[in-house]
Amino acid sequence: MSDDQLAMNTSIVPLNSERNIDYRPLQQLLAQQDFQAADRMTLQLLCELAGEAAVQRKWLYFTEIENFSTEDLQTINNLWLTYSEGKFGFSVQREIWLSLGKNWDKLWPKIGWKTGNNWTRYPHEFTWDLSAPRGHLPLSNQLRGVRTIASLLSHPAWSSPPISG
């Protein structure tokens, strides 16, 4: 993607942050469709939102998620939506989860995180491009059980209107 195209998309996705987090590196990775690096950076950014303890341990407690800024979570989600042609993002995962009656056992195979009784192994069995199932990314701590992703998909950010720049 050229600098002009990136600049154009920057105006499409306001990089708003209540916590003064710089989302440009995530935007650049997503613009280049380096979804694996963008996924790792998304986790780092979520840890930044959670605070220094989460940054140090490199993962989230589900209890930290409820304190996330709606503005920041929507910024991360909007970047994923924009650069994946609407295919990836927490809001996409939430929409699928709700459509399946919040049934995790139905969600995992639908988004490609489980096949039969086998969990998709990180990182090699995940699909890091747009051929992945809808909702496949970001992974968001998927190995830590359902409480973290349940907190993420239940965050008030998804019931508020997007914050525009």
DSSP characters over 106-121: HHHHHTTSEETTEEPP
Residue 78 lies in a domain: yes
Q: Residue 138 maps to which CATH number?
A: 1.10.10.1770
Note the pTM of the prediction, 2 decimals. 0.90
| Sequence-ordered alpha helix ranges (H) in 13-154 | 24-31, 35-50, 52-57, 62-65, 70-83, 90-99, 104-110, 146-153
Domains of the chain: total: 1
Domain region containing 135: 3-158
Residue 121 lies in a domain: yes
Residue 123 lies in a domain: yes
Q: Half-sphere exposure of residue 122, counting CA atoms within 13 Å on the CB side? A: 14
Tokens encoding 49: 């939102």
Q: Going residue by residue through the chain (165 aa), what tens digit of pLDDT does each one get?
A: 455 555 445 557 899 999 999 999 999 999 999 999 999 999 999 999 999 999 999 999 999 999 999 999 999 999 999 999 999 999 999 999 999 999 999 999 999 999 999 999 989 999 999 999 999 999 965 556 789 999 999 999 998 666 654
